[in-house]
Amino acid sequence: MATKPIDGQMPGTSGLRKKVKVWQEGFFLHNFVQSILDAWEGGTPKKLVLGGDGRYFSSEAIQEIIKICAANGVEELYLGKGGLLSTPAASGVIRRLEADGGIVLTASHNPGGPDEDFGIKFNNKNGAPAPEAFTDNVYKATTKITTVKTMENVPVPDLDTVGTTDIGAMKLHVIESVEDYVTLLKEQFDFGKLKAFAESNPNFKLCFDAMHGAAGPYAKAIFEGELGLANAELLRCDPLPDFGGSHPDPNLFYAADLVEKMGLTGDGTAKAGATGGPDLGAASDGDGDRNMILGKGCFVTPSDSLAVIADWADAAIPGIAKRGGLKTVARSMPSSGAVDAVAAKKGMKCFATPTGWKFFGNLMDADQMGYKEDLTPLLCGEESFGTGSDHVREKDGVWAVVAWLSILAEANDPKTSPFKTELESGEFIGVKQVMERHWQTYGRHLYSRWDFEGVGSDGANAMVERLRGLNAESPELNPAEAEAETEADPMGSFDELLALVFDSEAESEAEEEVAEPEVLKAVNIEDFR
C-alpha cells in the first residue's frame, strides 16, 4: 500500500505511546510497524514474538501486525495466547526461543480504553528494550516511508487456541506463555520450600492486586496453582481492555484499596488502630513489570525493596546462589542509596544508571559488549516501582513478589533464620520485622518521590529552574541532599510528568520523620497552571 510519513512517530525510551484514536487514524499503526521492520538490523527479522497487556485496540492491532509481518517475510511469529504476554514474560520467551526480537503492545501503567493510551515497544534479541540506535533508526524510517507491505483477504486466525497456522509463507504459533513463565520462575526460586512455608504457616495471607493487567494469569498460576496458598486473596486478576476503568499503576494512590487492607494511610504510614490484615501485600501494573510491596502497617519503598532483596538474595533465591551468589546491583539515578549500603558491606559492585531499563540490560550483557567481566548474577531496580534480575531483560512484578515471599519463608525457617529468638517465642516474622532489621544493619535512607501528572513542559521546566536557583543553605531545599528530575513520559504519551525526588540518609531516629510538606515549600504549584 502506498503511504507517506506521518508526524508524531518518534519513539521514546523503547517504543511509542499515543492515544488510541491516534493509532486508529489512517495508516498510523501500519507506518510505525512497517518502520520497525524496515529498521531491523540485518534485514527483515525471521523469528519474532508478539503480544501485550490486552489493553483496548490490542486485538485490532494484532490482526494488522500479523499481516504486515507475513508480507514482509517474517518466517515465524510467536503470539501469546489471546494476544496476552506480560512484558517480563515476553522477554523470557524471546530469550528461550532465541528469537530476533519482539513487538510488545503496551502503554505500561497508563490507563486503557477508547479515549486512553495504546503503545508499541520493541525488544531486541536478548529480550531487552531496544537500544537508542535502533529507536533512532525506526524514527528515521518513519520519515522516509513510502510503502506498507501487508496481505489482503487473510482469514482471521484463532488467537485463543494454542497451535500453528500458516499465514501465507509465515507460520503463526499461538503459545501458552503462562506455562513458560512459571517454568522460568521455578528455575529461580525453590517452589518446594515456598509450599512447605505455606503449609507450616496456614494463617499466612497474601493479597495480590493485578489491577486488571497482564500479571493476573501469571499470578494465579503461581500463587494458587503452584504454591497452593490457601489464604491468597488475588484481586483483579482478569485482564480487561480498560483495566476496569482504573489507572493500573501500583502505587499508594492508585492501589488505594490494597493500601487500606494493609492497614496503611495514603502516604504509606500505619493507620492508627488498624489490626489484622494480610501478611504480604503486593500489586502490579498494566503490563506486569512493576510492583509495590506492603506488609502489615508497613510500606516498602522501591529503593528499600531492592536493598532488602539484594541482602537476602544468596539465601532466598537459589537461581542466584547456584551461580556463585549475587555479584552486582544497579539502580536508577533517582532512587535512594539504600542498595549502595548493602553492596558496600557485602563487597558487591554497584552501579547507578540513567532512567530506562535498557541500561540495566547493558550491565547484564556487559561481557558481550566488550566489558572486562561478566557482572551477573545481577539485581536492579528503579524508583518507579520496577525491580528485577538477569533472569530476563525487563523488570518483573511477579518475580519481585515471589522474591519477597521467599524472603519471608527464609526468615521464618528456624534452621537458617537470623530471627531465632523471635521464632522461639512463637513470633511470625513479617515484612515490618524484616525492614526494621535491615535498617538496624544498614541504616535507613529517607526517600520520597512526588509526581505531578498532566503538567505542561513549560511549567515543569520553570519549576526545575527555580529549584536549581535556590541557595544551597536554604532551609527549603538543600541541593546536596536532594535530587530533582523532570521527565516527559518516556514513550511519548500525551501528558507530561514532573517527578521530584528527595534522598538522604538518616543520622538519628528523629530524622526518620520526614517533613515532606517543608520540602514542598520549594514547589510553586502555580508554575504548572
Grid coordinates representing 93 are 520467551
CA distance 435 to 443: 11
Catalytic pick among 108, 303, 389, 448: 108
Dihedral of CA 342/345/351/352: which sign? Answer: positive
DSSP structural state of residue 150: -
CB atoms within 10 A of CB 512: 11
**Nearest residue to 27 via CA among 147, 153, 191, 190:** 147
**Nearest residue to 239 via CA among 201, 262, 211:** 211
CA distance 27 to 25: 6
CA distance 104 to 439: 39
Burial class (CB in 10 A: 0-12, 13-18, 19+), 192: exposed
Active site residue 14: no
Dihedral of CA 258/92/106/122: which sign? Answer: positive
CB atoms within 10 A of CB 169: 10
Burial class (CB in 10 A: 0-12, 13-18, 19+), 265: middle
Residues known to be catalytic: 108
